[in-house]
Chain A
Amino acid sequence: MSERRGHPAAIREDVRKVVRLEYWNVAWSISYVAVVGLAMGSSQAMRTAWIEDLLGLIPPIAFLIAIRFEARGANARFNYGYDRVNGLGFVVAAVALLAVGLFLVKDAVVALVTAEHVTIGSVRLLGHDIWLGWFMLAAQAYATIPPLIIGRMELPLAERLRDKLIHTDALMNKANWQTPKSTAGGAAAAAHWR
């Protein structure tokens, strides 16, 4: 039995919305992974944020792959269709979310225990030397906006569709809209610290 068959129009409409949202999610994520990548230089703190942004790409991609499979009907090899691909995608997304959490905890604990001093260098642009911390703040401000909007739009859809994969992605976006704040706070603290 395929996912697509027998669903009311409202659910089909929600699925269409969520697929569109996830394509936007992937596009935005790639854009801020690129921006944060450009701004990070050799900063370890930024590298963690960047890895987390990269991991954030996994749930929407897992969903987009899963939804394509789910739409297929049953065949001789898979007598019950491909509905459970969603479950597989959920495992992938959940592992990615767990990895993000572990990264954040490890990073925070190591920084706290070793009383890490963050080095952020500078770059020369149009004849002016600019501290990379300002770029990091700008990149993080930019990286805050897409997850904030997409995450909020996703949550009600995930609840209506009872889709755990979308729900994981919405949670990931929630985590992602909070990390830029902490990274920006870190960069600001590095600027002010004395």
Chain B
Amino acid sequence: MLRKSAVTIGVVMLSGCDPYPRDISGTTDRIAGSHSIRTGIVAGPMSRPDRVAVDRFLTAVEQRTGAHVIRSSNGAEALMQELNHAQLDLVIGPFSDDTPWRNEVAVSEPLRQDQATQKTPVVRAVIRNGENRWIMTVEQVIRDQAGGA
């Protein structure tokens, strides 16, 4: 009991270490300042459940950040370049867990909980490397949705 309380206190203390981590390129601050999240959606056909999951996710991100999503659409390669040149804050599209992009960008868990263990490409969020606060925010939203689904 005592040990469990100590662990809980430790976890709460760690989770309270705000405002760390920070973003290397300041994405979170930029979003807070401009109230906009520049989001690229990978062009191509998307199933209805995927579309629903993307809309649900983006709405939740808007609620979490108080910013609104500005959508654009393009091929994956072009979107990745824009993401790495800080012209986008977020890319959403079908990526597998071991996508070759993984070394270049941070790839989230699947947006749809029912695809959590799927090996083929499924819809995920992609963020620029090093934007650790922003990555954490996106991960929190996905976990909240998985918990509430």
Kindly state the separation between the CA atoms of A191 and B131 in the bound complex, as whole angstroms.
Answer: 10
Can you name the residue of chain A whose Cβ is closest to the Cβ of B105?
A119
**Interface pair A191/B20, CB less than 8 Å apart:** yes
Kindly state the separation between the CA atoms of A114 and B94 in the bound complex, as whole angstroms.
Answer: 27
The answer to whether B37 has its CB under 8 Å from any CB of chain A is no
Can you name the residue of chain B whose Cβ is closest to the Cβ of A135?
B14
Binding site secondary structure of chain A: mixed
Q: A119-B135, A130-B11 are in contact. Are A192 and B143 (CB under 8 A)?
A: no
CB distance from A40 to the nearest CB of B (A): 15
The answer to whether B72 has its CB under 8 Å from any CB of chain A is no
Kindly state the separation between the CA atoms of A119 and B101 in the bound complex, as whole angstroms.
Answer: 13
- Residues of A near B102 (CB, < 8 A) are 42
**Interface pair A131/B143, CB less than 8 Å apart:** no
Kindly state the separation between the CA atoms of A36 and B132 in the bound complex, as whole angstroms.
Answer: 20
The answer to whether A126 has its CB under 8 Å from any CB of chain B is yes
The answer to whether A49 has its CB under 8 Å from any CB of chain B is no
- Residues of B near A192 (CB, < 8 A) are 20, 22
Task: Name the interface residues of A100-129: CB closer than 8 Å to any CB of B.
Answer: 116-122, 124-126, 128-129
Kindly state the separation between the CA atoms of A93 and B10 in the bound complex, as whole angstroms.
Answer: 39
Interface centre among A44, A128, A192 (most CB of B within 10 A): A128
The answer to whether A95 has its CB under 8 Å from any CB of chain B is no
**Interface pair B22/A119, CB less than 8 Å apart:** no
Kindly state the separation between the CA atoms of A128 and B15 in the bound complex, as whole angstroms.
Answer: 6
The answer to whether B21 has its CB under 8 Å from any CB of chain A is yes
**Interface pair A194/B106, CB less than 8 Å apart:** no
The answer to whether B129 has its CB under 8 Å from any CB of chain A is yes
**Interface pair B20/A122, CB less than 8 Å apart:** no
Chain A 179-194 per-residue mask, 1 if CB under 8 angstroms from chain B, else 0: 0000000000011111
Kindly state the separation between the CA atoms of A128 and B103 in the bound complex, as whole angstroms.
Answer: 27
The answer to whether A134 has its CB under 8 Å from any CB of chain B is yes
Task: Name the interface residues of B1-60: CB closer than 8 Å to any CB of A.
Answer: 7-8, 11-12, 14-15, 17, 20-26
Task: Name the interface residues of B80-102: CB closer than 8 Å to any CB of A.
Answer: 102
Kindly state the separation between the CA atoms of A118 and B25 in the bound complex, as whole angstroms.
Answer: 12
**Interface pair A121/B135, CB less than 8 Å apart:** yes
**Interface pair B143/A129, CB less than 8 Å apart:** yes
**Interface pair A131/B136, CB less than 8 Å apart:** yes
Q: A124-B143, A194-B26 are in contact. Are A130 and B14 (CB under 8 A)?
A: yes
Kindly state the separation between the CA atoms of A119 and B140 in the bound complex, as whole angstroms.
Answer: 16
- Residues of B near A126 (CB, < 8 A) are 7-8, 11
Besides A121-B139, A193-B130, 20 other A-B contacts (C-beta < 8 A): A118-B132, A119-B106, A119-B130, A119-B132, A119-B135, A121-B106, A122-B136, A124-B143, A126-B8, A128-B11, A129-B139, A130-B14, A130-B15, A131-B17, A131-B21, A191-B20, A191-B22, A191-B132, A193-B24, A194-B24
Interface residues of A (CB under 8 A from B): 42, 44, 116-122, 124-126, 128-131, 133-134, 190-194
What are 12 A-B pairs at a CB distance below 8 A? A42-B102, A116-B129, A117-B130, A118-B129, A119-B130, A119-B135, A121-B132, A122-B135, A128-B14, A131-B14, A131-B132, A190-B132
